Structure 1
Amino acid sequence: MTSPQNIPRSALLLGLAGLVPFVWGALTTLVPTLGLQASGVIGSRFVGPYVQLYYGAVILSFMSGVLWGFATKADGAKATGGYILSVLPALWAFFMTGGGAVAASMNLIAGFVGLLLLDWQFWRQGLAPAWWMKLRVLLTAIVVLCLLTGVL
């Protein structure tokens, strides 16, 4: 049984596992020799900011689906508003991840911060679980820190 303040163990573990590509991208950016070695083995798309950018767009799109699911708990205008808001992260990822690694990383950071605001809106309306914001703040903070390695 989970109290409203406790994140269910499976949700926490899966959320943390979902950070692996972001952390790996940051690590291979901060340790260039690791990035070069890994690039030779698994390809340059799977190291540095490139893995973060690709995966970040995937996760923003995934989170659109999560928000859509929350919107199904509402009725009428509240549901319509939820459906409209839920597509924004996927559209943001689609339109804002071009223009080079630095610009795309900055846009993904903005996208994840914006997603956190949407998470809060759905949570405030009682459409997300009570523990949702505790999980989302933790995951978003780590994602943003990792994406910053491609900007700085």
Structure 2
Amino acid sequence: MRRIPATPLALGLAGLIPFLWGAATLIFPALQSWGAGTLGARFVGPYVQLAYGSVILSFMSGVLWGFATKTTGAVAATGYALSVLPALWAFFFVGGGPVSAATYLIAGFVGLLGLDWLFWRQELAPPWWMSLRVLLTVVVVGCLVVTIL
């Protein structure tokens, strides 16, 4: 694992805000009440986590697609095919109630981490990629567990 450059680290950590906020509003009812009254109900609790989590899985499909462009032939074809899986996962499986959706999002993010590792192992991702992705995935999964509990 390598040191993460400052910009990707800062942006990655900023991307955790909706997950952390959603978990905080589940843990602290007064914060949820304030957030719902100020920001609207879709920006608190599981709603913000589930909507944002689906967006992030789709975004990460694009990131992986970009990694696939760094190679050719069968490796590229496999990379392109694998890169669409997180977006398809979010589209087909994230729905229903908050517990079910959060559970599927957790599975999606853990699966994404496996894809991250595969692209990183093929040296298509930056050397520091797994350091960043493990950190972000641990926090995201922890926040989604709050929704399940």
The TM tier, using the shorter chain, reads over 0.9
RMSD, matched Cα: 0.8
Output aligned runs, 1:35-46, within 5 Å. 35-46=32-43
- Residue 113 (structure 1) aligned to one of 110, 134, 139: 110
Distance 1:30 1:72 in 2: 42
Indicate the residue corresponding to 1:74 in structure 2.
Answer: 71
- Residue 60 (structure 2) aligned to one of 49, 53, 63: 63
Distance 1:102 1:118 in 2: 24
What displacement does 1:37 show?
1.6
Distance 1:24 1:112 in 2: 18
What displacement does 1:41 show?
1.1
Give the counterpart letter for 2:108 in structure 1: G
Output aligned runs, 1:1-150, within 5 Å. 5-150=2-147
Distance 2:2 2:116 in 1: 16
Gaps of 5+ in 1: none
Distance 1:133 1:123 in 2: 7
Decide which moves more: 34-43 or 18-27: 34-43
What displacement does 1:136 show?
0.2
Q: Deviation above 3 Å: which 4+ runs of structure 1? A: none
Gaps of 5+ in 2: none
Give the counterpart letter for 2:5 in structure 1: P
Distance 1:135 1:40 in 2: 34
Q: Secondary structure at the match of 2:148?
A: coil
Q: Secondary structure at the match of 1:149?
A: helix
* Offset from partner CA, 1:6-57 (integer Å, 9 cap, x none): 1110000000000000000000011112101210111110000100000000
Decide which moves more: 36-45 or 73-82: 36-45
What displacement does 1:114 show?
0.2
Q: Secondary structure at the match of 1:98?
A: coil
Distance 1:96 1:49 in 2: 16
Give the counterpart letter for 1:53 in structure 2: L
Distance 2:2 2:96 in 1: 40
What displacement does 1:96 show?
1.0
Give the counterpart letter for 2:54 in structure 1: A
